[in-house]
Chains A and B, each alone.
Chain A
Amino acid sequence: MTLRLPRPLERFFEEMGRYVLMEGRIFAWTPRPPYDWRELFRQMVKVGIGSIPVVFLTTMFTGGVMALQTFTVLRRINAESFVAAGVSLSMVRELACVLSGLIVAGRAGSAMGAELGTMRVTEQIDALEVMATDPVHYLVVPRVWATTIMLPFLVLMGDFVGILGGYLVAVPLMGANPVTYIDRTFQFMDLNDLFSGLIKAAVFGHLLAVIGCQMGYYTKGGAEGVGRSTTAAVVIASIAILISDFFLTRILF
């Protein structure tokens, strides 16, 4: 008699195994020619430029909310002057990269799941293989590196926009002194804070793209299957981002 794991656990290990295999294939294929620079560039535009508006709005309002919240709380202990540092440090170290990661997972990761999933169920991936083209090389490699490269840039913008959002709430709305506020924004921050946020961003970008592509690549079962893959791409990538965030924070700070 063979012992079987409960179904959800079995699925978990199956997906983990696929993830490891997928990473292996991505790293094995990346250095091999032909290099498809045009496709890489196309994906960078699609993921990077296309996500600017959502990342802008998310970080702007998060920065604003941070200022509102910390202002209310810190006033109780007469420490309003630390609002600026609170907003800037939490944006740069944590919020910009996690929120951008989640938003891009919803926007670009889901699109990868749907695109590759459709290609799988309509036999386009088989057709690629038949024409001596490795689908991971052709489809997955450019998507993954485009996202890995672009997410740190989005987060850099998000850092700035988030701090701006905090400023716009604290100074005109709450009446903080603009000079002191800007001064305090950078007083406690060093480059490590910035870089660790950007490193996280690259890891999140990589994770969400690999997971999105993986879900699409292993799609089965027609239109319904594509729907499942798209949902899974977002849900699993989001969870992976949040869990890896914890461990990255432990390692990087």
Chain B
Amino acid sequence: MADAKIRIRDLRKSFGPKLVLDGVDVEVAQAESLVIIGGSGTGKSVLLKHVIGLLKPDSGTIEVDGEAVEKLGSRDIVEFRRRFGMSFQEGALFDSMTVWQNVAFPLQRLRKLSRQEIDERVKECLAMVRLEGVEEKLPSQLSGGMRRRVGFARAVAHQPEILLFDEPTTGLDPVTTALIDEVIVDLNDRLKTTTLTITHDMESAFRIGDRIAMLHRGKIIATAPPEEFRRLDDPRVQQFIHGQAVGPLSEEDPSREPREVGRLETP
């Protein structure tokens, strides 16, 4: 792929004795939506955190627009991250701030906007995830699903060129899931945002992905557009798609499963 926006080469990472990523190779094209699927604890979140430089690889490279993320110094990385929006598994909202302050945070920090422009954009983003009239609430006053949606609104607020979603729909009801999926597809189509989503929700994956990749045992074992992906004859892929309890994925050595996703280093 010549015009890869994100290019990950032979990425390896272990936490202590646990090998989490064992040579990941994957590329995301400009304006493409790539979905990475894989079971719990296969290192999907770890992979995502490497892309934005929250974790540093043991070896291998991550390039964004040809720029090696792992080589960026602490000042450059701040600039680099302006181009990204990321939503976290549990929302990761700042619990001392109201919903409004949370969604406005990236706008105040990353863009020069007037108070009124910020207010409009916050309202627009909250409306996008069908949340209205919650601006003055604190995250502790919201349900888990609502917190997720606020986290999502915060990630897209400053209209970044690259969006990273860490399980954006896990644990949401099917209607809200479909809604979030629509928003992702829309951002991708309309604003030509490059998105990298990790999930284990297959329905979501098929809806939002231009391509789907499967991460297994620290490696990408398959990459294909949705329709093709569905027909792959890899038994591991088939077991995952169909959610079967018995199959090659279940015969894993449990000692390899990374339990704690470490956040040992800070750049």
Contacts and interface: CB of A to CB of B under 8 A. Distances in A.
Q: Do A and B come from one complex?
A: yes
Contacts of B110: 131-132
Interface in B243-267: 260, 262-264, 266
Contacts of B89: 123
Given A126-B54, A220-B262, A220-B263, A132 B78 contact: yes
Which 8 pairs of residues, A with B, have the shortest CB-CB distance? A123-B92, A127-B92, A123-B88, A130-B86, A132-B81, A131-B106, A132-B78, A124-B92
Nearest to B90: A122
B260 A220 contact: yes
Interface of A: 118-120, 122-124, 126-135, 220-221
Nearest to B49: A126
B81 to A, nearest CB: 5
Q: Is the interface of B mostly helix, strand, loop or mixed?
A: loop
Given A120-B263, A126-B54, A220-B260, A132 B109 contact: yes
Contacts of B173: none
A128 B88 CA distance: 11
A124 B81 contact: no
B79 interface: yes
A45 to B, nearest CB: 14
Contact of A134 (B54, B78, B264): B78
Interface string B56-95: 0000000000000000001000110110111011101111
A118 B266 CA distance: 17
Contact of B81 (A118, A123, A131): A131
A221 B15 CA distance: 14
B52 interface: yes
B106 to A, nearest CB: 5
A53 to B, nearest CB: 23
Interface residues of B, number: 27
Nearest to A131: B106
Interface of B: 49, 52, 54, 74, 78-79, 81-82, 84-86, 88-90, 92-95, 105-106, 109-110, 260, 262-264, 266
Contacts of B49: 126
Contact of A220 (B81, B90, B264): B264
A141 B228 CA distance: 52
A151 B76 CA distance: 36
B4 to A, nearest CB: 22
15 contacts: A119-B94, A122-B95, A123-B88, A123-B92, A126-B49, A126-B54, A127-B94, A129-B54, A129-B266, A130-B54, A130-B85, A131-B105, A131-B106, A132-B79, A221-B260
A134 B262 CA distance: 19
B267 to A, nearest CB: 8
Contacts of B93: 124, 127
Contacts of A221: 260
Contacts of B82: 132
A118 B106 CA distance: 21
A128 B95 CA distance: 12
Nearest to A124: B92
Contact of A127 (B78, B88, B262, B264): B88
B92 A126 contact: yes
B262 A124 contact: no
Given A123-B89, A127-B88, A133 B260 contact: no
A122 B96 CA distance: 13
A126 B93 CA distance: 11
Contacts of A123: 88-90, 92
A220 B262 CA distance: 7
Contacts of A134: 74, 78
